[in-house]
Structure formats: structure tokens, C-alpha cells
Amino acid sequence: MPNGPMHLFIPGPTNVPDAVRRAMNVPMQDHRAPDFPELTLPLFADLKKVFANETGRVFMYPSSGTGAWEAAISNTLNRGDRVLMSRFGQFSQLWASMAQRLGLDVICVDREWGEGVPLEDYARHLAEDKTIKGVFACHNETATGVTSDIAGVRRVMDAAGSDALLFVDAVSSLGSIPFEQQAWGVDLAVTGSQKGLMLPPGMSMLGVSAKALEAHKSSTMPRCYFSFEDMLRTNDLGYFPYTPPTPMLHGLRCSLDLLFDEGLLRVFQRHHRLAEGVRRGVGALGLSLCALDPQWYSDTVTAIRTPEGVDAAEVCRIGFHRYRSSFGGGLSKVAGTVFRIGHLGDLNEVMCLAALASAEMSLADAGAKVELGAGVAAAQDYYRGATAALEADPGSSEGGAR
Ligand SMILES: *Cc1c(COP(=O)(O)O)cnc(C)c1O
């Protein structure tokens, strides 16, 4: 169809760069061949850099991110273990539900959708209950555009003298905004291929600390396909316990090269700059964010509340049918009242302006009173200033990472 590309303004799957797509177009190869480790061993080493996890290791599973959620739990905990979790969006809710279904004794703190991990509540529970074996946190709640303070979770755990394992969902944050597995004392860090790593869906990565590897030895939860043991035995030699998705591994090689060529710090700065422009655009349209306070603002996804009486699902439908744009819909609790613009992965200023322009038209068509062009203009203004500042001083934090 000579209509130009379908625009993917969702927070995953994200756009796959052409170079990555080409890199995946390979003849099938023998995953037990002598040269296979030449591809895989550097991938493990380089993924550790992305997780900022020097002393632990990283596993790769042929599954979506949800598989690595399960791998993290089933490899390190025991049935009946008490764990501390919080729920404030679709993804934090789903992980809590998985923990319950796997037989953990879940203390779940519910917060309003639009807030993040409640540090004071965590501090209180950890002080009161010394039996807590796992503390869980969703770094970036993709349903509401909320980023939480993981270093803060670690501080609270240390202050309480907790020796629990720290589990973090970094699916829509890793490779896009700062993440420091080792410095933050994260024991299990989950991510998926289709977000910041700019790959198709279908692979998950799990960053594991030395402490979690130790806990694995005494954990008795049933596991097989996701077992660390089988992975350890084969990964060390550059192989897998079963057939890995080899084209995906070639894509990963390429996407890691792209991230390192740009430089992770620059990647984080770019995500902050793009997100800030989108937020200013949304503000200029007179709309509010689902994130309830600037401390929660996510640099990878913006969730926008539609005005009273305007159906967010209708905004998404119009965007899709009239303007070839996919926006993220509101999930469960915020269905109909929130739509989302994803701005992570292979993305630049003009793509964000296109997202705002398309959102403005879709909103207006759905009955919202918005001034066409106001959001785009505010973002343009910001992007011009931030780009000029960056050229003047590439090390500046203007338009840079927080
Ligand atoms: C995308 C995502 C997941 C994983 O979802 P899958 O569909 O299993 O890949 C988990 N958590 C968050 C925060 C996400 O954004």
C-alpha cells in the first residue's frame, strides 16, 4: 500500500531499526556448532553491561518478558515464602497475580494508578515483618507512565536490615533510562526484547546477582524450562539447553552495537529529551498525565488522561483507522480514560512530533476541545532549544538524563 508506514506510537513492541532487521535475516545455523559461542559469549558479556551487572550474570529465554518474571521467582524462592509487592498499574498487578498463582504469600500494597512504588509502606512492612524473603518493584509501570525509585527501594531494605532478594521489572526501562543492577543491589532484573532493546517480541533477559545465584541452590520451587541450573551448565560454554532463537541473537548483536555506538548515557539523554517534549506538548493541549506527580514521570511512555466525556478507546480507534497511528490504549482500570504514547527505542524528535500531531487530530475527532498544533508547537519549541544546547555542549544535562 503506497500509504507510508503504519506509525507505531505504542510502548512496545517498539520500532525495530532497519539494521537490526537486516541482521536477523540470516540462514539458519547449527546452534551446537563449534563456532556458535563466538556469537553468544560476547552477547552475555555485553548484556551484563546494559544491566550494569558486573559480578552476576544474565540469562536469555525464548519467551516474552512474562517468562522471565516466572524464571526469577521459580528459581530463587520457595512455595509459601512471604514477599512484599505493590500494585499501581496493569504490569505490577499481573506480576503480583503471578506470584500468588505460584504459591507465594504476597503482601500487596495497593496504590492509586498514577503513583509508583510506595517507599514508606515498604519501610513499614520491612520493619514489622522480618520473614519477608522477596521485595518486588516495577521500575517503569508501562500502563500509567510511572517510573519508580529503585535505588530508594534498596535504601529502605538496607535501613530495615532486610536480607530479602530484590526483584525488579525493568521491561520498559532497561536500555532506555538509567538502570544500575549492581549499584542498586537488584538481585533479579527482568526485561524483554521488544522494548528498549529494539528487537521483535519473543525473547526475555534476566539479570541475576551473585546472591540470587546462591539462593537458587536452596530454592525448591518446581521449574524445568526456566531452570538456572540447565542454563548455567550450557551458557558457560556458549550454548543453550534447548534451541535458541538464532536470528534474534543476531538482531541482539546489532541492537547492542547500536546502543554502545550511541553510548548508553546518550541513549538515556535522548529518551529524557524526547519524553520531555511529549509532556510539554500534552501540557500545552491542556491535558493531564496519568502519572500524578513529576517525581513519577516516565521517560519511556506518557499516559494521557482524556478530558471528561472523551473516550480514550475512541481516540485510539480514530488514530488507527484515519491516521495510521497505533497509540497504546488504557489497560483495565484506566480503559477508556487513558491513552498512551510510547517513546522508547529507535526514535527521534520528529517521530514524537508526528505522534503529537496525530494525537491532536484523533482527540479533536473524538470530541476533545484541543487547539490543533498547540501541542506540536510546544514540543517543537522545547526540541529546538534542547538540540541547540546539546550541540553547544554535548556533555550538558540540558535535554539530558535526570
Ligand atoms: C511489556 C512489559 C512486560 C512484559 O510483557 P510481555 O508481553 O510478557 O513481554 C512486563 N512488564 C512491563 C512493565 C512491561 O512494559
Question: Which band of pLDDT confidence, cut at 50, 70 and 90, is reported for residue 402?
Answer: very low
Assess if residue 134 is contained within a domain.
yes
Q: DSSP H helical segments within 149-263, as ranges?
A: 150-159, 210-218, 228-235, 246-262
| pLDDT over 80 (residue 2) | no
| pLDDT over 70 (residue 341) | yes
Q: What was the pLDDT predicted at 393?
A: 83
Assess if residue 8 is contained within a domain.
no
Distance 94 CA to ligand 1 centre (A): 9
Of 137, 248, 153, nearest to 192 by C-alpha is: 248
If asked whether residues 85 and 131 sit together in one domain, one would say yes
If asked whether residues 94 and 183 sit together in one domain, one would say yes
* Cα within 13 Å of Cα(198), Cβ side: 27
Assess if residue 14 is contained within a domain.
no
Q: 145 CB under 6 A from ligand 1?
A: no
Q: 66 CB under 6 A from ligand 1?
A: yes
If asked whether residues 30 and 135 sit together in one domain, one would say yes
In tens, the pLDDT along 315-338 reads 999 999 999 999 999 999 999 999
- CATH number of the CATH domain containing 198: 3.40.640.10
The identity of residue 26, as a single letter, is V
If asked whether residues 381 and 268 sit together in one domain, one would say yes
Domain boundary among 235, 260, 285: 260
In tens, the pLDDT along 78-136 reads 999 999 999 999 999 999 999 999 999 999 999 999 999 999 999 999 999 999 999 99
Assess if residue 47 is contained within a domain.
yes
Helix (H) or strand (E) holding 110: strand 105-110
Distance 292 CA to ligand 1 centre (A): 22
Domain that holds residue 144: 19-260
If asked whether residues 300 and 251 sit together in one domain, one would say no
More confident residue, 51 or 402: 51
If asked whether residues 94 and 191 sit together in one domain, one would say yes
Mean pLDDT, the chain, whole residue set: 96
- CATH number of the CATH domain containing 318: 3.90.1150.10
Q: What percent of the chain has pLDDT over 70?
A: 98
Q: What was the pLDDT predicted at 396?
A: 64
If asked whether residues 300 and 200 sit together in one domain, one would say no
The number of distinct structural domains making up the chain is: 2
If asked whether residues 166 and 314 sit together in one domain, one would say no
If asked whether residues 131 and 239 sit together in one domain, one would say yes
If asked whether residues 215 and 349 sit together in one domain, one would say no
When pLDDT is averaged across residues 273-294 and rounded to a whole number, the result is 98
Assess if residue 400 is contained within a domain.
no
Assess if residue 198 is contained within a domain.
yes
If asked whether residues 289 and 256 sit together in one domain, one would say no
If asked whether residues 277 and 193 sit together in one domain, one would say no
- Would you say 287 and 364 are in contact if contact means Cβ atoms under 8 Å apart? no
Q: 172 CB under 6 A from ligand 1?
A: yes
In tens, the pLDDT along 214-256 reads 999 999 999 999 999 999 999 999 999 999 999 999 999 999 9
Q: 192 CB under 6 A from ligand 1?
A: yes
Assess if residue 399 is contained within a domain.
no
Assess if residue 12 is contained within a domain.
no
When pLDDT is averaged across residues 12-33 and rounded to a whole number, the result is 98
Cell of 378: 510546544
Distance 234 CA to ligand 1 centre (A): 27
Domain boundary among 243, 260, 277: 260
Distance of alpha carbon 155 from the chain centroid: 22
Q: Which residues pair with 136 in a beta bridge?
A: 167
Q: 12 CB under 6 A from ligand 1?
A: yes
Q: What was the pLDDT predicted at 26?
A: 97
Q: 13 CB under 6 A from ligand 1?
A: no
Domain boundary among 260, 292, 323: 260
Question: Which band of pLDDT confidence, cut at 50, 70 and 90, is reported for residue 177?
Answer: very high
Distance 192 CA to ligand 1 centre (A): 7
Distance 140 CA to ligand 1 centre (A): 10
Q: Tell the residue nearest (CA) to atom 6 of ligand 1.
A: 65
Q: Tell the residue nearest (CA) to atom 4 of ligand 1.
A: 65
